[in-house]
Chain A
């Protein structure tokens, strides 16, 4: 019996692929989903273990994840192993490509920060002249943000700011501690806005528990795990894609899945890798180019709340977190860089022992004295999309299934460096004005990729000569091919991208379903 030919083949089960599956299957469209990772049982495959019970006492196997700083010995099974999944980069410019291969993708461990983009991003070129606008505006995506926030159970506080549009939030009525309140007041004096975090709630907030179950409940979704896609296949008569060749990751058996439409949502760089290996959708020559992310300066400032010293801060003295949205260059250019950065801040933690220049009993006393007395802030900055930052197929580097991997080249430039420096000095001054004692400040960014917010390389645009996708995440070249993840971004701002990826996948899927209904696809 020949295999079923599905209406839509979806590659990837993370935020974008799962969202596409949910939207399409609810409209009665039969979907087949391929994911490179295994399925798992959330109850049985996760257990409580003491750290001393682990072979490496929590350090993890040395050298196993040289580019995944987020990995630890408890989560090691989640992250893509670089020996099985290698890639390359210039010797002096390492790129940190962080991947998860498991049903649910990176939504199994994402930070859950859920911010909308605004027309400061969608129409960035109109605002500051750099790069390109998106082929859609905030108003086009707003109805889908309205659906995505309840789906992901996002909490937050409405503020009415144009650079960070409000949404449909679970209310956040939490109060601020004295220390956090003081920082907020210092920021306000300078005209710097602050708000509560906007974050997906729940024990687990992944596509595996929030999105895929709805799709499966329709009876219209088939998920195949351990399916590593080699390439898309093309009908030579029509030039349209008609499915994908994939490898069963365990048996290495080669298979082919057929569908009328192919949706790629394998994560930014994996999707682009699949397209490049397939030799499709690149008449523009920009596939793989305009790679960017958000730069991170982790713990830009680490400070002490003086009155919290002693080891047992009084109730309400410290605690709580907040967020500074972009506040620079909103009305004309007022910095020596364009665009801007956001900041996560919080008080009540204990500074890392490295900050105390001591050892032995003196160190232990310092730690005890500063327990819960810390304040820190991390900067997340907008990175300009540049043609020269790109990923290309590296035929010499192949994965465990013989599939060519990527060579990734990305560098930050002056605009990002100046922004990081400004963030450092601004945050240090705010700490001082709040009465905090600064332990350390710095503007050293993590390497490109480490924020796991990689974007671009398969960008949207109105012009097929300078972009890969149209405003519906649909290939300019191959009309039955859609790419629905972060690779479609034109700019990214300083906001975490997952909420926007989800909204874009919803919008693209609704369009796709309507075109199918009309007989155009």
Chain B
């Protein structure tokens, strides 16, 4: 279309005042769809789900890591992460399963809470600033923080907790990219 024709077509459109433009509601992807995990192997993802459920289970109506789909979110996050972080998780989940098989002849995902607690012994040690040397302990330290954050920052968690505590809205000032 030539410019004159285009301008003419624009002029023929009915004008819409800003306040008349309908406000459209959009959902975040997690709300309307299920994630497709692709970073972790099936045994590793199963172990991470079990670990997530142990670190932050659903308690008294507050969603836990599973309801918040924190393990699936971490699958996405780790897939985007630097190599050293990916190695920390892969080595840690491998160690988690290896210890479980050595002690109980089954994968971590299949352990009951009492059995799992033995494998998770490093989580009962006081936190120090020195980084753990043991890969499993280092992984558990990272996973604890990540599972808690991924859960507490989920829509599922915030929609429940914000009902009880106005300060838990999970809302903050976002700086838009500027061109």
Contacts and interface: CB of A to CB of B under 8 A. Distances in A.
A440 B127 contact: yes
Interface in A37-76: 38-40, 45-54, 56-59, 61-63, 66, 74-76
Interface residues of A, number: 43
A423 B178 CA distance: 42
A74 B174 CA distance: 4
A50 B149 CA distance: 14
B123 A358 contact: yes
Interface string A357-392: 111110110000000000000000000000000000
A441 to B, nearest CB: 9
B28 interface: yes
A66 B81 CA distance: 11
B171 A49 contact: yes
B144 A354 contact: yes
Nearest to B150: A57
Nearest to A66: B82
Contacts of B59: 361, 364
Chain A interface mostly: loop
A77 interface: yes
A49 B123 contact: no
B175 A46 contact: yes
A158 interface: no
A236 interface: no
A440 B177 CA distance: 39
B158 A50 contact: yes
Interface size class, chain B: 35 or more
Nearest to B159: A52
A323 to B, nearest CB: 23
B55 interface: yes
Interface in B121-178: 123-129, 141, 144-146, 148-150, 153-155, 158, 169-178
A78 interface: yes
A75 B175 contact: yes
A355 B172 CA distance: 25
Contacts of A444: 129
A357 B56 contact: no
A476 interface: no
A103 to B, nearest CB: 10
A53 B124 CA distance: 34
B171 A62 contact: no
Contact of A58 (B30, B149, B178): B149
Interface in A317-367: 353-361, 363-364
A497 to B, nearest CB: 24
A49 to B, nearest CB: 4
A77 B129 contact: no
A190 interface: no
Given A38-B178, A74-B174, A358 B153 contact: no
A344 B57 CA distance: 36
Contact of A357 (B125, B169, B174): B125
A483 to B, nearest CB: 28
B81 A360 contact: no
B88 interface: no
A358 B124 contact: yes
A196 interface: no
A442 interface: yes
B124 to A, nearest CB: 5
Contacts of A360: 54-57
B46 interface: no
A58 B173 CA distance: 12
B77 interface: yes
A440 B171 contact: no
A51 B172 contact: yes
A63 B81 contact: yes
B158 A51 contact: yes
A237 interface: no
23 contacts: A40-B178, A46-B173, A47-B176, A49-B174, A50-B158, A51-B158, A52-B30, A58-B149, A58-B153, A59-B153, A76-B175, A77-B178, A78-B175, A102-B178, A353-B144, A353-B148, A357-B127, A359-B56, A359-B120, A359-B123, A360-B57, A363-B55, A444-B129
Interface of B: 28, 30, 54-57, 59, 73, 77, 80-82, 85, 120, 123-129, 141, 144-146, 148-150, 153-155, 158, 169-179
Given A52-B158, A440-B127, 9 more contacts: A39-B178, A49-B172, A52-B30, A63-B81, A76-B175, A354-B144, A358-B124, A360-B57, A364-B59
